[in-house]
Amino acid sequence: MDTELLSTITDPDALKSTGEFYASTAICAQDVAKCVDFAINMPPDACVDELILRPTLQVH
- pLDDT greater than 80 at residue 59: no
Give per-residue pLDDT as tens, 1-34: 667 888 999 999 999 998 988 888 888 889 999 9
The total domain count for the chain is 1
Q: How confident is the model at residue 58 (pLDDT cuts 50, 70, 90)?
A: low
Query: Residues 58, 4, 53, 56: what is their CA dihedral angle, to the nearest 10 degrees?
Result: -20
For 42, the domain range is 1-60
Q: How many residues does the chain have?
A: 60
Q: How confident is the model at residue 55 (pLDDT cuts 50, 70, 90)?
A: confident
Task: Supply the pTM of this predicted model.
Answer: 0.62
| pLDDT value at residue 16 | 95
